[in-house]
Structure 1
Amino acid sequence: MRRSLFRPVVALLFATALSAPSIAPLTPAIAATEPASVATLVKAVDIPYQAFTLDNGLRVIVHTDRKAPVVAVSVWYHIGSKDEPAGKTGFAHLFEHLMFNGSENANEDFFKPLESIGATDLNGTTWFDRTNYFETVPTGALDLALFLESDRMGHLLGAIDKAKLDNQRGVVQNEKRQGDNEPYGLVEYAQLAALFPEGHPYRHSTIGSMADLDAASLDDVKNWFRAHYGPNNAVLVLAGDIDVATAKAKVQKWFGDIPRGPETVRPEVPVPTLKAPVDQVMKDRVAQTRIYRNWVVPGLNDPDLIPLDLGMDVLGGLASSRLDNAMVRKAKTAVSVTASVQPFEKISIVEVTADVKPGVDPKLVAKQLDDIIAEFVRNGPTADEVKRAATRQAAGEIAGLETVGGFAGKAVTLAEGAVYSNDPDKYKKDLAATAAATPASIKAALQKWLGRPAYRLTVEPGERTASDMAAAGGSAVGAPGGGMAPRYYRDPRFEGGAAAPAISQTLKPTAAVDRSSPPPVEEIKDLTFPDVERTTLSNGIKVVFARRTTVPTVRVSVAFDAGNAADPKAKLGTQGLMLSLLDEGAGKLDSIGIAEAQERLGAQIASSATMDRTSVSMFALKANLAPSLDLLADIVQRPTFAPAEIERLRSQILAGIASENSQPRGIARRVLPTLLYGNLHPYGVPLSGSGTAEGVKAVTRADLVAFHQTWIRPDNARIFVTGDITLDELKPLLEARFGSWAKPAVAKGEKLFRMDRMARPARIVLIDRPQSPQSYIMAGQLLPTKGVDDPLALIAANEVIGGSFLSRLNMDLRESKGWAYGAFSQAQTLRETMPLYVVAPVQTDRTGDSIKAALADMKEFLTTKGVDAEERERTINGQIRSLPGSFETSSDLLGALVQMDTLQRPDDYYEKLPGRFRALTAAQMDEAARAAIRPDSLIWVVVGDAAKVEPQLKEIGLPVERMVVGQ
């Protein structure tokens, strides 16, 4: 259940007795070779908590974790889109947006105070069963966060007016257009309509229909709030640097005077069964035919859901799944497959997919898919498959214990249990059920639920039909109104944690608190960055280490000075193909053997590349570290590059490139870097690193071996490690596996950074994508600075221009004009010449106006209206105060170590950063921006419906040229 079936709807654009999570020691010790058992892993997952209830019904859960001076605040309202009546679809999500736009005693965008206090993991989401708001704040700012959350719970309606409603209606409608505009973006509507009968609560999408959003009146939305947003329909979780005594006092102060609301009716929701299989074919602008199989199954409180979830992992979730092995590795009829359960409160949905390999008959693939599913349902999994699936899930829960809040932290785990099951301990029971699952119990659940008729959908390349677009509830460009919508990929039941016995108490209401002004922010301490330790292996490999003991896990990154910039221009995509093959055969193991070995160990090994670095990274349980390192060493040093695997992965990468060329964002990110840097510069490559179809087709096995020997070698490597281990324990483990690695005889690779003299004038490059309800705008220019220069003032200035939710660009195009779901800019910190990117997906009929507005905003900022005092204060405070929350996990810390090394930063870089920010003036920010940013030099890429967009673009005053991208 780690892959969300549908897209949840997100409001934003965008990183003792009560102690840290109680981790039972994992045995055997580090040197052991036998993997830890699932039962042992499950026992290590624990989130101690205490709970109390206010007299008004607000349930409060407190978990103490002192590892960082931050507190996660998570408010969950037990109301979602399934509770919306007919004709009011999208209300829950629309109201989520409105609740960010100010309350009676804090009548400004909530991001203003929250960004100024350095809130991290800040967002809000709406889903079928709930609406939630969350932020992780420095401990000294907790009162302010509680003031804001309580004010929108108890003092909201006076701040909502027609102007706010109309503005957020436009934002939501552009969010819908943005989702609908993606390949396969209309599938969810078809699935819901087919799987659920008329009138079923889960039949309509959370985003709603354009017509219902248009019809929403001020009285409608206010009545929705009055009916469902009382404290008695909410759960508040505080997790982090807080204890229950402090929490009681603060919560009572801020929430105690809010009156109870009406009780929300909880009707029974049946699990529907199709009378017969339903077959449907859709056309869409997609690169590959995708085959879907769906069933509705019970909700997350049903005992069959755990076996079903494990069964889906075995079928298509594990790297060694039945579908992967049969269809992707052996028959090679599909380029990718999935199987998952998306759990909801009252029902859940099973989804199985297969992306057909180009040139293969989809009917053949559909039959193969159905045959494998039928055989699996008939016979069930093996004991080893069950153990591997359960180990992977338990390992994921242990890793999740590091995060207190956000989309998937400990606060989420406790809140979900309380909201959906009236039991914050629910995850413990689920983990126990995971450990206890057997082949027989999984087979029984599969036969009971997947033996029923399926919804069988095929999505083929082609033009969308009018009926499919109408079934989506409309995404027409002429609708009133008018970022990147985060995908909520998470497992609501398995996010780690457990609970000590809860203290259930009822507190009496107090007199109304003074809300005439926000509470002051107490002292917020600067970041204390962990000590960075270093050593060197006998062959010269440098090791960089920082200890983090929160959970018994270790993260390792073997990084090489290569990256996408090292990809050979003659055969662009060589590196991507080489990296994809590392774990598809190494040492004595083939691709299936490597996948199974990782699953047994609860380890995850993955290769990746940025522009400047290439890395092979590993997450490992401390108890299984030694055998996990054995596997990592083979993958890094001894890949086999088997010819059959090369051809299989080549096909997958070519399919991936075709998929990028079907996505608005993917197209722009492939095209713009070459327009900026030229074909010969190392950075003039697609941002995805996938290369070109021509390059990938031309790569030979000899090319792959040569690239590996040239770049993936000990004299070009550094090893970065974070986690629950000491350097004295770590070094001999690394020495035994990497210390004797000898460099090849061939010369080490070098990257030549040299700009050519070709002129790259400002212009608009238009790429036609018919039927697009949105235009994806991405512009760029090269900056006169390098990442190694550490351009702090420029980075800070960009926060004001387009780097934050409150930036000039986002507040104009999203909040003021309502033409976009989000707009932003980024000064990308590459080692060499940095680019500035501006991104804005906008509704089609406002494409030209949006470019004009963005140019006007940037020019005004760079001339007459630079950084003002409030913007400077908010930006500096936010940058400083967000640092402790930015390095909460070992993964965050590992990324920082690699980034510091890549950009040649000193070990004390982050500890000295607050002082440098404090010394930064608005004038210095303005000076840096004005010296670097040239709006008139931007090259604009627009991906949209050219027939509707081109006339608008010709009014801007820049040359407009057409470009055709390959499929």
Structure 2
Amino acid sequence: MRLRLVSAAALLAAIAPASTAWALDLSAGERPAAVASAAPAQDLQPASVAELVERVDIPWSRFTLDNGLTVIVHEDRKAPVVAVSIWYNVGSKDEPAGSTGFAHLFEHLMFGGSENSPTSHIQAMRAAGATSLNGTTWFDRTNYFQTVPTPALEQTLYLESDRMGYLLGQVGQEVLDLQRGVVQNEKRQGDNQPYGLVEYAQLEALFPEGHPYRHSTIGSMADLDAASLETVRNWFRDNYGPNNAVLVLSGDIDEATARTLTERYFGRIPRGPVNTPAEADVPTLAEPLRETMHDRVANVRLMRSWAVPGLLDPEAVPLSVGASVLGGLASSRLDNELVRGDQSAVSVSTSMMPFHRLGMFEITVNVKPGQDPAAVEARMDQILAHLIANGPTAEEVSRVATSYASRTIQSLEQVNGKASVLAEGQLYAGDPDHYKRELEAYASVTPAQVQAALQKWLTRPAYTLIVEPGEREAYEEAAAAPAGAAAVEAAPIQRVARDPMPAIGDVSDLDFPAVERARLSNGVEVIYAHSDTVPVTRVAVEFDAGYAADRAARLGAHSLMLNLMEEGTTSRDATQLAEEEEALGASINVGASMDRSSASLTAVTTNLRPSLALLADVVRNPAFAPGEVERLRAQRLATIANERTSPNAIAARALPPLLYGPESPYGRPLSGNGDEASIAALTRDDILSEHQTWIRPDNATVFVVSDLPLSEVTAELNRAFGDWTAPAAPRGAKTFGPAVPAGQSRIVLIDRPQSPQSLIYGGVLLPLSGTDDLLTLNTANTILGTDFLSRINADLRETKGWSYGVRGTVNQLEHQAPYFISAPVQANRTGESIAALLEQYNAFLADRGVTPEELERTVNGNTRSLAGGFETSAQLLGALRGNALYQRPDNYYETVASRTRALTAADLDAAARAAINPGGIVWVVVGDADVVRPQLDALGLPVEVREAE
């Protein structure tokens, strides 16, 4: 990709951080006053939208095989990797009645192996060193993608062609039944979340019977139950031919090589039937439609939806811009009026989701507890009506366009990101350069065009859905004995012989960029790596703090302080900060992990100086205005209430205190949000003290990845931070006692009625810290817990079909590290799942350790994937920060391959057995106690039942 940088002179013009020139004459609609105690830190002019987008270019070539397969090639030699991305022009909109969910079901089936590679596709790709490996299904398409080392390209093309042309001999009744169960558990997992049933109601309301977009991609339990083997096979025959696919090769490859290889591996696959994707009009409701749904949620949610034109329509971009102005930008009108203004909502969002044939325009408002939903809805309607009647300002439109261009530039850093852009353009528009047309449309769109599109489409009757707290309505479950699992004989598959699968050549070890260091004039260390794939600079100002900095009696204070840093400085209020970020195409985020806090910046390098000025203002000069403290306090209390309704958040709140004890810096909820009593008691002085104690130059390190040299970056950092001095207050320190021994295994069951799934969340403390050398243990745990092919996932998902995904991880905290197990399982298998997990751990840690096949696959995968794992500047920045946190040398990742290749099965077995004690696992189960308790009692472990708070 080529991006022209604007001249340095463009950075020397003045910028006035103007506010949005619009206002509503409504009772509580005035924007918060700006704090005016200091002038802006820098006066600089950002690059224009046109300057950002005019030189964005992804060179490509295209050819078509005789069987109709379209191949697009993009050459990018920055790393020895190639993205292989194949998009099939079929999605859930193409499913006939009674076959909903088939496109997504086949996504799963196509990962299960093929006739000439009967093991899992993921297993083969894992050994090949694939990164960005996945497949997705949506209304309009199904895609499969992976980024592989160049020497693994031929094998990858062989495997992709095998599941395109030689799949069905591997898809028998047993495979279908297993993946049917996995998909149904994926559906349960989504449905089990708060507001998890909203999409079904929305689609059925917006689209009439028989409309292609009326059903969700996941499908219905009944249709999945009814899927017979022959029906499913015929779905594949009708839709997955080469003439219905686009293959993109992006990276370390040229057109001549691509022609040779694609002809070799795909050329013999015969054409399939001619497939014309379903047409679909944009329906209009006859009259406004309102519905009310109940769910176990903490606050009322208002949703307003319209069907609108799709991504190829000239009004798609104006509608998208309108959505961002209304509720998509951080400085959006709904944010300014409902969240920051009268504070009647805790959050808002607006989106325009463009699909191939149509789109959906959606407004979501989460009502603040205690507010009148009807009044909030009336206010939302006034804001929307004002925008439709008067249109957006030119400044608003420019900020949306700049933000979009910046995000697009960043997304093209990965070869897979470029492959996806080219494939989508070819699939839907017949033009791989369609992304350019979109960028040009954003750069040239006018307020009048946005207003006209909003007037045309959002004045039609809308669907309004209100979700209120309460018991859920009836839930559709899968049948105990699916009709499609019945023994109905399917036609035999005639297998076609192929040449042997090609081997993988030698993959070179990782060449990690040189790490350089400097110091600012105030002594703050700068750790830097160079990356010039795109003109983007990433900066993280990191502090030795994190959620562990909280005192036990003041949980949530640190994260609330960090949140408030983004809500206004002594020279800019929250809206001005958001507006200036958007005008620069920059992104500033302040947050924390358990061990570190950080203020991070991602900026187009052209706009680095003014972006750093904003970052410095956020870090150094937070206002902590009393009104903002109270507003974010109320939001935080609502967030905690929402956490108590989500299975994952409930478990993440409950488990750490059970492992570490409530007094430990690690014995608090993993979200860092604290509890109601602590948040309610915090004062503004507490927040100021928290900032002075932890967010200071003598507690800071700056990490940078940029296309600029270190000397230029250091000069800009000095301009922003070089005169920053520490306050007189003492620097904070965290106190960790001696390592906590593993306790006795037990089960804490948290009752969450009406849960179609149970979330099993287990944990045990390890006799290790994050600063220990954990390479051997983590390699062993790849086989045991983290990999898709791990023992526990292979058992519960790929053998039993009880879960959509199971994972066991070493959580690499700086001090004492825990081992966590996450297993969402169907409710009627909860007890059996814990028993199966314990069986796998006990066996692995006793006499069924690492096999030769597992060792070879894991060593190959972990070493071959290194180049793809550090393809982006974000990945490089994360590596710099991780090396510093865990006290590793700068060349750590360059040593990983040789160290991993030297490992033996005995090494891995010994590391796992010394660290993990299954007899000490504390299990938190979030589920319906009436269903789950009898299953848990049968396990012979102590069971404590708690009510969901």
Cα deviation for residue 377 of structure 1 reads: 1.1
| Residue 35 of structure 2 corresponds to residue 27 of structure 1 | no
Give 1:413's match in structure 2, choosing from 407, 415, 421: 421
CA contact (8 A) 1:104 1:159 kept: yes
TM-score of the pair, normalised by structure 2: 0.94
* Corresponding residue for residue 460 of structure 1: 468
Which of structure 1's runs of 4+ aligned residues deviate more than 6 A? 476-482, 756-759
| Residue 873 of structure 2 corresponds to residue 862 of structure 1 | no
Cα deviation for residue 736 of structure 1 reads: 1.8
How far apart in 1 are the matches of 2:197 and 2:480? 16
Kindly provide the CA deviation profile for residues 873-929 of structure 1, in whole angstroms up to 9, marking residues without a partner as x: 111111111111111111111111111101101000000111111111110100010
CA contact (8 A) 2:10 2:45 kept: no
Cα deviation for residue 680 of structure 1 reads: 1.1
Give 1:301's match in structure 2, choosing from 288, 301, 312: 312
* Corresponding residue for residue 918 of structure 1: 901
Cα deviation for residue 760 of structure 1 reads: 3.5
Give 1:52's match in structure 2, choosing from 63, 86, 98: 63
How far apart in 2 are the matches of 1:417 and 1:57? 17
TM-score of the pair, normalised by structure 1: 0.93
Q: In the superposition, relative to structure 1, how do residues 40 and 757 fare at CA in structure 2: closer, same or farther (>3 Å)?
A: closer
How far apart in 1 are the matches of 2:881 and 2:278? 52
Cα deviation for residue 755 of structure 1 reads: 4.2
Mapping of residues 676-825 of structure 1, within 5 Å: 676-755=659-738, 760-825=743-808
How far apart in 1 are the matches of 2:286 and 2:867? 55
* Corresponding residue for residue 40 of structure 2: none
Give 1:606's match in structure 2, choosing from 563, 574, 589: 589
Amino acid in structure 1 at the alignment position of 2:4: A
Mapping of residues 876-915 of structure 1, within 5 Å: 876-915=859-898
Cα deviation for residue 80 of structure 1 reads: 0.7
Mapping of residues 258-407 of structure 1, within 5 Å: 258-405=269-416
Cα deviation for residue 716 of structure 1 reads: 0.3
How far apart in 1 are the matches of 2:449 and 2:892? 53
How far apart in 1 are the matches of 2:635 and 2:479? 34
How far apart in 2 are the matches of 1:44 and 1:719? 31
How far apart in 1 are the matches of 2:603 and 2:331? 18
| Residue 237 of structure 2 corresponds to residue 226 of structure 1 | yes
| Residue 432 of structure 2 corresponds to residue 424 of structure 1 | yes
Secondary structure at the aligned position of 2:85 is classed as: strand
CA contact (8 A) 1:584 1:590 kept: yes
Q: In the superposition, relative to structure 1, how do residues 844 and 245 fare at CA in structure 2: closer, same or farther (>3 Å)?
A: same
* Corresponding residue for residue 36 of structure 1: 47
* Corresponding residue for residue 594 of structure 1: 577
| Residue 443 of structure 2 corresponds to residue 435 of structure 1 | yes
Secondary structure at the aligned position of 1:589 is classed as: coil
| Residue 77 of structure 2 corresponds to residue 70 of structure 1 | no
CA contact (8 A) 1:292 1:353 kept: yes
Kindly provide the CA deviation profile for residues 116-165 of structure 1, in whole angstroms up to 9, marking residues without a partner as x: 11100000111111111101101110001100000010111111110000
Q: In the superposition, relative to structure 1, how do residues 793 and 164 fare at CA in structure 2: closer, same or farther (>3 Å)?
A: same
* Corresponding residue for residue 134 of structure 2: 123
Q: In the superposition, relative to structure 1, how do residues 140 and 372 fare at CA in structure 2: closer, same or farther (>3 Å)?
A: same
Kindly provide the CA deviation profile for residues 746-777 of structure 1, in whole angstroms up to 9, marking residues without a partner as x: 11111111148798321000000000000000
Cα deviation for residue 567 of structure 1 reads: 1.4
* Corresponding residue for residue 523 of structure 1: 506
Amino acid in structure 2 at the alignment position of 1:674: P
Q: In the superposition, relative to structure 1, how do residues 237 and 671 fare at CA in structure 2: closer, same or farther (>3 Å)?
A: same
Kindly provide the CA deviation profile for residues 280-336 of structure 1, in whole angstroms up to 9, marking residues without a partner as x: 000001111100000000111100000000110000000000000000001100000
Secondary structure at the aligned position of 2:253 is classed as: coil
CA contact (8 A) 1:173 1:481 kept: no
How far apart in 1 are the matches of 2:10 and 2:832? 61
How far apart in 2 are the matches of 1:883 and 1:757? 34
| Residue 932 of structure 2 corresponds to residue 952 of structure 1 | no
How far apart in 1 are the matches of 2:282 and 2:113? 39
Task: Give unmatched runs, 5+ long, in structure 2.
Answer: 13-43, 486-494
Give 1:665's match in structure 2, choosing from 643, 648, 665: 648
CA contact (8 A) 1:253 1:513 kept: no
Amino acid in structure 2 at the alignment position of 1:807: S
How far apart in 1 are the matches of 2:505 and 2:764? 41
CA contact (8 A) 1:781 1:938 kept: yes
How far apart in 2 are the matches of 1:189 and 1:715? 53
How far apart in 2 are the matches of 1:653 and 1:65? 45
| Residue 609 of structure 2 corresponds to residue 626 of structure 1 | yes
How far apart in 2 are the matches of 1:28 and 1:367? 49
How far apart in 2 are the matches of 1:57 and 1:453? 43
Q: What is the aligned-residue identity percentage?
A: 58
Give 1:568's match in structure 2, choosing from 551, 563, 578: 551
Give 1:445's match in structure 2, choosing from 439, 453, 462: 453
* Corresponding residue for residue 199 of structure 1: 210
CA contact (8 A) 2:226 2:482 kept: no
Give 2:620's match in structure 1, choosing from 611, 625, 637: 637
Cα deviation for residue 436 of structure 1 reads: 0.7
Q: In angstroms, what is the RMSD of aligned CA positions?
A: 1.5
Cα deviation for residue 514 of structure 1 reads: 7.5
CA contact (8 A) 2:742 2:764 kept: no
* Corresponding residue for residue 507 of structure 1: none
How far apart in 1 are the matches of 2:941 and 2:672? 30
The count of residues paired between Structure 1 and Structure 2 equals 909
How far apart in 2 are the matches of 1:478 and 1:358? 43
CA contact (8 A) 2:112 2:120 kept: yes
Give 1:209's match in structure 2, choosing from 220, 225, 234: 220
Kindly provide the CA deviation profile for residues 550-606 of structure 1, in whole angstroms up to 9, marking residues without a partner as x: 111100000000011111221100011101111111131011110111011111100
* Corresponding residue for residue 4 of structure 1: none
How far apart in 2 are the matches of 1:830 and 1:758? 16
Secondary structure at the aligned position of 1:341 is classed as: strand
Kindly provide the CA deviation profile for residues 853-876 of structure 1, in whole angstroms up to 9, marking residues without a partner as x: 000011111112100111111111
CA contact (8 A) 1:481 1:819 kept: no
CA contact (8 A) 1:176 1:475 kept: no
* Corresponding residue for residue 650 of structure 1: 633
How far apart in 1 are the matches of 2:739 and 2:913? 25
Q: In the superposition, relative to structure 1, how do residues 813 and 342 fare at CA in structure 2: closer, same or farther (>3 Å)?
A: same
Kindly provide the CA deviation profile for residues 505-547 of structure 1, in whole angstroms up to 9, marking residues without a partner as x: xxxxxxx997343201012111110000001112110000001
Cα deviation for residue 730 of structure 1 reads: 1.1
